[in-house]
Amino acid sequence: MEPGTRGDVSAPLRLFEGYGVELEYMIVDAETLDVRPVADELLARVGGGYEMEVELGSVAWSNELALHVVEIKTNGPAGSLAGLGDLFQEHVARIVGLLAPVGARLMPGGMHPWMDPDTELRLWPHENNLIYRTFDRIFGCRGHGWANLQSTHINLPFADDAEFGRLHAAIRLVLPILPGIAASSPFVDGARSEFLDARLGFYRNNAARVPSVTGRVIPEPVFARADYEGRLLRAIYDDLEPLDPEGVLRQEWVNARGCIARFDRGAIEIRLLDTQECPRADVAVVAAVVAVVRALVEERWSDSARQRRWDERELAGILLDAVRDADDAVIANRAFLRSFGFPERGRARVGDLWQHLIEEAVAPEPLYAEWREPLRVITREGCLARRIVRAVEGNPVRFAAPEAGDGPAGAPVAAAPPPERLLRVYERLAGCLDRGEMFLP
């Protein structure tokens, strides 16, 4: 959902010739860490008006939907990921400096751990507000799946239909394991969720009124533009038409799957990564994902024809396990593991698969020195969600799956920790963002 994003496909980039990266952070009160819906005032301070996007050289700041969220992103595709973590950190510092006089700051993570979206959501009231009001009217945005989620997006280019098909096939295969490296949202409503990636637990159901909008999160096996527009997007538009006869949402960004084709900008956008504790960690995760996608596109472990045969329902089952247990989720599908060249065995933890992929695909990259430390923390200490829970509770993270009908996906399943303990941990996380440091429990 990015109506304000600019796109220019007059000279389309080929595979891996550019990278669009977007990081979302929460604006919170400097003392209480409660959400502060002041993104419009922040953007007005640097842009002079209430535009939803402000360009600042090679980086842009923007807002989408919820007024307590600010997005820092590359202003168009960057030619390389080199130095991007440091560049984003500079902009974090600039935003922190602008927020300090009004008693606010930034906080990282995929969800706010105690926000009440029913009472605290404030929608963007300025440019493109009709789009957000339409989303709210149809889906009801006062819920965690709309009002309380922060993510990192990756945009990867393609130049033609052949490149789109190869890239889409590879990304579909990587989507199910992304929570294993990026989950950072284990607390909801002040208590531990059944999911380590609660953001995705809510995200997959936020458009339940029109199920085709999100589908199974994993896109259908469609590898040509004509089929994508005629089959996947057409179904969404047809299902939305009775609720949106004016066609306000009849745009390709209304598709809410875990990756979406942006033919308007010649790119596929990956949406399943929770935001990490600092830009250096986010860019390291982005680099790992890109390296694995590239290895699949280059058919290092499996050919593209085999990658295209995966059904979205089978991949969605693997994803759901990873949404719940992140790096500790177990993959028992031998064919899936073989698609990544994993040593021959019948089952593996997602965390072990990521360790293998980092060694095989990421470590040989020329820029690996920039990403080594964050990836080492993630693979040795666990994903950020696991480290957060360990800091709050001091014990391993294990969940018993709730019985069907026990509550909505992502609902709390454990007694709430003392509020002051949760506050202290998230103060530390906010400090990590301020200083550009990794979070260690």
In a domain, 91, yes or no: yes
Q: In CATH, what number is assigned to the domain containing residue 35?
A: 3.30.590.20
- Strands (E) located in 116-163: 151-157
**How many angstroms separate the most distant Cα atoms in the chain?**
59
d(CA 409, CA 417): 20
What are the pLDDT digits (tens) for 143-196? 898 899 999 999 999 999 999 999 999 999 999 999 999 999 999 999 999 999
Vertex 214: Cα angle to 211 and 219 (nearest 5): 120
**CA–centroid distance for 224 within its chain:** 25
Angle between helices 368-381 and 384-393 (to 10 degrees): 40
Please, are residues 388 and 196 in contact by the beta-carbon 8 Å criterion?
no
In a domain, 196, yes or no: yes
In a domain, 219, yes or no: yes
d(CA 432, CA 311): 40
pLDDT in tens, the chain (441 residues): 444 444 444 679 999 999 999 999 999 999 999 999 999 999 999 998 899 899 999 999 999 889 999 999 999 999 999 999 999 999 999 999 999 999 999 999 999 999 999 999 998 888 778 998 999 999 998 889 889 999 999 999 999 999 999 999 999 999 999 999 999 999 999 999 999 999 999 999 989 999 999 999 999 999 999 999 999 999 999 999 999 999 999 999 999 999 999 999 999 999 999 999 999 999 999 999 999 999 999 999 999 999 999 999 999 999 999 999 999 999 999 999 999 999 877 899 999 999 999 999 999 999 999 999 999 999 999 999 999 999 999 864 444 443 333 344 555 656 789 999 999 999 999 999 999 999 998
pLDDT for 346 equals 84
What are the pLDDT digits (tens) for 386-408? 999 999 998 644 444 433 333 44
Nearest to 322 by CA among 336, 305, 303: 336
Angle between helices 279-297 and 84-99 (to 10 degrees): 150
In a domain, 306, yes or no: yes
Residue 54: its H or E element: strand 53-56
In a domain, 415, yes or no: no
pLDDT for 5 equals 42
In a domain, 440, yes or no: no
pLDDT for 406 equals 39
Residue 134: its H or E element: helix 129-139
Residue in the structure block whose two tokens are 């390291």: 284
> What are the tokens at 271?
């949406």
d(CA 118, CA 338): 44
Please, are residues 410 and 143 in contact by the beta-carbon 8 Å criterion?
no
Residue 337 burial (10 A CB sphere; 0-12, 13-18, 19+)? buried
d(CA 422, CA 425): 5
Domain count for the chain, please give it: 1
pLDDT for 344 equals 77
In a domain, 402, yes or no: no
**CA–centroid distance for 206 within its chain:** 15
Please, are residues 150 and 107 in contact by the beta-carbon 8 Å criterion?
no
In a domain, 84, yes or no: yes
What are the pLDDT digits (tens) for 91-120? 999 999 999 999 999 999 999 999 999 999
Range of the domain at 297: 20-393
pLDDT for 399 equals 41
Nearest to 125 by CA among 44, 70, 198, 52: 52
